[in-house]
Chains A and B, each alone.
Chain A
Amino acid sequence: MTAAAPEVLLPTSLQEAVQAFGDGAGVTVVAGGTILLPALTYGRLKPGRALMLSKSGLDTITRENGMIRLGAMLPVAALADGPEPLASAARNVADIEIRAQGTVGGNLCAPPGVSAPRGDLQGPLLALGAHVRSAGPGGERTEPVESFLADHQSRLALEISFEEPSASGYARVDRPHAHTYTTLAVSVARAADGTVRIAATGAGPRGVRLPSAEAQAGDPEAAGRAALADVTLQDDALASAWYRERTLPVLVRRALTQLVENTG
């Protein structure tokens, strides 16, 4: 099962991890391992160098002045009682054992799934207007999560930060299995400055903002219809694109309706 064993780097601090990652060339990052280990076991991935983050720290969650910061190695389970809509999405990831093993950074950086969507936290983080601090070529940088998602091949995610929203909404459809898989989910959050962001998980290879829906956020029905302009839906083992096309407007409407209900 283990042919030529890759060189393994096991940094014991953030600084060591950043140094070991360097410009990221040829480095496979191992966070919780819930996606990566099967890829190794089944021979789909043969890393030359592997950077294991398990002893690097980066697993804290802090709240200060309404700003929440998540270390990239924070287990998904740690978000279960956190801010919405992130908490609802986190509670629906796989099962107890996997939520305790999988990490926020790993979920953010998850490669697109073939048979089922991955990255349940990407939608909520987009809706929250989160920023990602990462290391890589040119040093550290902090950028909006959508630009990080668009290209993070040579980045090492360190921290995700966002302001606690003033209201939120979350709606999804599941495919029941031993544990449930998220077929499609819509996250909505209103920032302290009043900006409403809407994003979907399961409506493409990764989490996606729905700007056309945001433009009509005051009218949940119209926003739902508009959302279809922002996505390229796909078939997978959980649902067809046909089904998702009919479901997305409903979920946008429900999540926006919740947002209104949650507004104090």
Chain B
Amino acid sequence: MNLTVNGVEHSVGSPALTPLLAVLREELGVLGCKAGCWQGGCGACTVLVGGQPRRSCLVPVGALDGAEITTVEGLGTPERLAPVQAAFHQNYASQCGYCTPGMLIAAHAYLEGGGTDDRAAIQEALAGHICRCTGYVKILEAVGTAARGDAAELERNLEVGEEPPVEIKGSPA
């Protein structure tokens, strides 16, 4: 069977009941989707299947012949971040980073679906994603920023190694 992952077509040899997550990481070496709980409870492995967010640990690959898969690697590049990635960067929405790929995929799908900066709606969209570092506030703010499309901020992508242009609240001017 075949899978298109981030625009590249792959032939897949894993048995049909293998979770998509195992195929991506172990057979195809696509490591952006993270392996957390392997039972659908943490959100770290979330990828887009045909543009819709799915837990890759819960989807048997045999159900996906010919499907288009997008992992975090397919959202943007270091030189050209996707808006949601730029917003996460600017809002310090990532700490250890393990949940970040899943968060970004879910947030991207939310925004692509016309999601607004309504806090409750963002919380609902990210409900299945656990972060043990940030306390979620920065993540929610980042998705709100991206939803408002603060284009001037988001389109100015950062050079690799560049300090992010963020004011530290409460610091002397």
Contact = CB atoms under 8 A, between A and B. Distances in A.
B17 A40 contact: yes
A7 B120 CA distance: 45
Contacts of B16: 5, 8, 10, 50, 52
Contacts of B106: 96-97
A65 B14 CA distance: 46
B86 to A, nearest CB: 23
Contact of A33 (B22, B63, B124, B125): B63
The size bracket of the interface on A is 20 to 34
A101 B39 CA distance: 13
B130 to A, nearest CB: 5
Nearest to A37: B58
Given A95-B127, A96-B106, A30 B17 contact: yes
Contact of A38 (B57, B128, B130): B57
Contacts of A180: 127
A2 B17 contact: yes
Interface stretch (B48-56, B74-82, B138-146): B48-56
Given A38-B57, A40-B17, A41-B57, A97 B43 contact: yes
A8 B106 CA distance: 31
B42 A178 contact: yes
A237 interface: no
B128 A94 contact: yes
A96 B58 CA distance: 13
Nearest to A38: B39
A10 B62 contact: yes
B129 A8 contact: no
A1 B127 CA distance: 29
Contacts of B63: 33, 52, 54-55
A100 B16 CA distance: 20
Contacts of A42: 38-39
A34 B106 CA distance: 18
Contact of B38 (A41, A97, A98, A178): A41
Interface string A130-163: 0000000000000000000000000000000000
A6 interface: yes
A101 B55 contact: yes
Contacts of A8: 15-17, 62
A237 B52 CA distance: 31
A143 to B, nearest CB: 29
A178 B127 contact: yes
A101 B129 contact: no
Given A34-B40, A178-B128, A97 B17 contact: no
